[in-house]
Amino acid sequence: MFDLVKKLTEIPGPVGREERVQRFLHDTFKEYTDEVRMTNIGNLLAHFPGEGKKVVLNAHADEICYFVQSITDDGFLKVSPHVRPVGMDLYAIRHCTIGQRALLMGNENDLRGVFAAATGHILRKSEIEKSIEYWDIFVDVGASNKQEVWEAGVNVGCPIIWNPTTEKFGKKITGKAMDDRVGLAVMATLAERVADCNLAFDLYMASTVQEETNAKAGSSALAFEERFDIAISLEPGLAGDIPTIETVRMPTKLGDGPALVYKDGSLVYDYETLKSLTLVAERNNIPFQSVVYVNFASDCETLVAGNARPCLITVPCRYTHSPFETIHEEDLRDTVELLYYFLTK
Ligand SMILES: [Zn+2]
């Protein structure tokens, strides 16, 4: 599972430029079904025919990113945060961005660089004491002037991502884009497991684009691509098992199994599907957690427009929307097990 997660999370797939992730997944799905198609907006949809209600498992291919907002005369890049520069996102971005290696997707090649800010060695005392603001951060790609940046195929609008490697510490996996490559890893693993099974549903698996936008463009389009009875979104969830958070605020823990979400910031999830999943977990001794989120949303937010009953299963994750999102390998395995038994029995 780690090898798959490492491979998936390290593929660059900023919002609107998910094609490399989709290509990888297309080749994976193709091994297990002939029915794989790319939709007009760029969603990838794989079909595993079966008798019963139409279920779509879905996870998004895109990741948190920045865009080149302007290029200075001396060749530095000022960046705009991804499409939702509000609340916790801006907070997360500001505090963990400086020092990250950057990867810029130019028009011809990828460029490497670093998210930087002025060192305290050359700041005034008053500047050192004030907290870092978003506009204090810039990207240094090693260029000497604007011309060099242009010649490297970079213009305003090119996306930039954090570019750490994905590592395993004990049973935990840390890296960028767990959101939402863990969902894709679960689907890719399930595709192999269910390929030759009698399914209890007519099953689809969708890798959507542009989830990290207010419009959730990919899943908005998916809602009208097929009429699904049930939509099950797979996402990294929230976890409160770190020293500075009281358990009552977020009781979910890494290693205690997938978290079934009853509500989040935009939806209340389908009671019947939640009960079925709970029953399947109990009968098969699969650990699971039940959870309620406040600052959270999924692709189901827009998939309900097509009349699908919404369901959200999350793999608990620490430090969401950061370059060091951290999950537990066994939670991933248990999520696969839960869905396997749900879809086949
Ligand atoms: Zn997500």
User: Could you read off the pLDDT of 99-147 as tens digits, one per residue?
Assistant: 999 999 999 999 999 999 999 899 999 988 887 777 788 999 999 999 9
pLDDT bin (cut points 50, 70, 90) of residue 96 is confident
Residue indicated by tokens 């002939």: 34
Cα torsion angle, 326, 211, 183, 43, sign: negative
Residue 61 Cα, ligand 1 centroid: separation in angstroms? 9
**pLDDT of amino acid 169:** 96
Percent of the chain with pLDDT strictly greater than 90: 85
Q: Give the Cβ contact number of residue 48 at 10 Å.
A: 22
Query: Average pLDDT, stretch 30-53?
Result: 97
Residue 59 Cα, ligand 1 centroid: separation in angstroms? 8
Produce one character per residue of 151-161: b if its CB has 16 or more CB atoms within 10 Å, e if not.
Answer: ebebeeebbbb
Query: Average pLDDT, stretch 67-79?
Result: 95
Query: Do residues 23 and 183 touch, judged by C-beta distance below 8 A?
Result: no
Residue 276 Cα, ligand 1 centroid: separation in angstroms? 24
3-state SS, one letter per residue, for 275-333:
HHHHHHHHHCCCCCEEEECCCCCCCHHHHHHHCCEEEEEEECCECCCCCCEEEEHHHHH
**pLDDT of amino acid 91:** 53
Residue indicated by tokens 């705009």: 80
Radius of gyration of the chain (CA): 21
Residue 294 Cα, ligand 1 centroid: separation in angstroms? 15
Residue 263 Cα, ligand 1 centroid: separation in angstroms? 15
3 state SS of 112: strand
Q: What is the residue-averaged pLDDT of the chain?
A: 93
Determine which one of 211, 212, 225, 325 is catalytic: 211
Q: What is the pTM of this model?
A: 0.95
Residue 151 Cα, ligand 1 centroid: separation in angstroms? 34
Q: Give the Cβ contact number of residue 195 at 10 Å.
A: 13
For residue 122, give Cα distances in angstroms to 52, 99, 127, 133, 298.
Answer: 67, 17, 10, 17, 43
Q: What's the CA gap between 92 and 88, in Å, rounded?
A: 6
State the angle between helix axes of 19-30 and 2-10 in degrees (0 to 180), rounded to the nearest 10.
140
Structure-model confidence comparison of residues 97 and 341, the more confident one: 341
Amino acid identity, position 18: E
DSSP 50: -
Please name which of 151, 188, 176, 152 lies closest in space to residue 97, comparing C-alpha atoms.
Answer: 176
**pLDDT of amino acid 92:** 61
Query: Average pLDDT, stretch 2-22?
Result: 97
φ, ψ (nearest 5 deg) of residue 163 = -135, 55
Angle at 206 between CA 285 and CA 189, to 5 degrees: 40
Residue 298 Cα, ligand 1 centroid: separation in angstroms? 7
Query: Average pLDDT, stretch 10-26?
Result: 97
Query: Average pLDDT, stretch 33-57?
Result: 97
Could you report the per-residue pLDDT of 194-223, keeping only the tens digit for each? 998 999 999 999 999 999 888 899 999 999
Residue 217 Cα, ligand 1 centroid: separation in angstroms? 13
Whether 284 has a pLDDT exceeding 90, the answer reads yes
Whether 289 has a pLDDT exceeding 60, the answer reads yes
Residue 66 Cα, ligand 1 centroid: separation in angstroms? 16
**pLDDT of amino acid 134:** 76
Query: Average pLDDT, stretch 177-188?
Result: 97
Q: Give Cα 256 distance to the centre of its chain.
A: 21
Q: What's the CA gap between 161 and 177, in Å, rounded?
A: 10
User: Is 211 designated active site?
Assistant: yes
Whether 86 has a pLDDT exceeding 60, the answer reads no
Output the six-digit token pair for 249.
Answer: 């605020």
pLDDT bin (cut points 50, 70, 90) of residue 307 is very high
Length of the chain: 345
Could you report the per-residue pLDDT of 240-281, keeping only the tens digit for each? 999 988 999 899 999 999 999 999 999 999 999 999 999 999
Residue 296 Cα, ligand 1 centroid: separation in angstroms? 9
Query: Average pLDDT, stretch 3-22?
Result: 97
Residue 235 Cα, ligand 1 centroid: separation in angstroms? 6
Angle at 239 between CA 233 and CA 244, to 5 degrees: 155
